[in-house]
Amino acid sequence: MDVASDDVNPHEGVAAGAASGAAARNAGRVQRASQMRNVGLLTAIAIAVHNFPEGFATFVVALEDPVLALPIALAIAIHNVPEGIAVAVPLREATGQKWRAAGWATISGLAEPLGAIVGFLLLRPFIGPEALGVSFAAIAGVMVFVSLDKLLPTAIESGRHHTAVYGMLAGMAVMAVSLLILPS
């Protein structure tokens, strides 16, 4: 039996240490899978909540200025990729099922066109600069909260916090550059 020295307690026999180490590792895997599933589902819900008003805001911009709508739609499409990844990766890690994880990511993304339709139908009388400003503020607030409160702590626990911070900064840079290239 080949047992890594990290798994062996020098005060116990090798067999007892290996058995308790295997049980602890298995319990850790189960707990980690449960945690990843919860993070994935919470992220899916948060992104759906985020996408709903985002769809409305994008639709309103398209109504007000069709020329501006194209770069905004492009920027949103670009940032929807990491949103889908943020939903799919924890769910794939938890379940091992790629297609189910991709399905949850897709469902959370479909809240965007639904938000455009429902938002337009319900808020048609109130559409204006104030409604658009409130929508954009709500959209940004939801994602910043989820990112800092749930995703970053999970990345820290996984030991991949530097990667998460670099990704967050890269995303901010992409959004900043997209604001610079938008037509005035």
CA distance 131 to 61: 11
The mean pLDDT of 106-131, rounded to a whole number, is: 81
Question: Do the Cβ atoms of 14 and 1 come closer than 8 Å?
Answer: yes
Tell whether the model's pLDDT for residue 9 goes beyond 50. Answer: no
Task: Take residue 26 and report the two structure tokens written for it.
Answer: 């298995």
Please give the biggest Cα pair distance in the chain: 75
Greater pLDDT, 134 or 4:
134
CA distance 58 to 51: 10
The pTM of the whole model exceeds 0.85: no
In the chain, the amino acid numbered 12 is E
The mean pLDDT of 159-171, rounded to a whole number, is: 81
Give the best-scoring range by mean pLDDT among 3-7, 29-33, 95-99. 95-99
- Percent of the chain having pLDDT more than 70? 84
pLDDT at 76: 81
pLDDT at 135: 72
What does the mean pLDDT of the chain come to?
A: 77
pLDDT digits (tens, 9 = 90+) for 55-93: 877 787 787 788 888 887 787 888 788 888 888 888 888
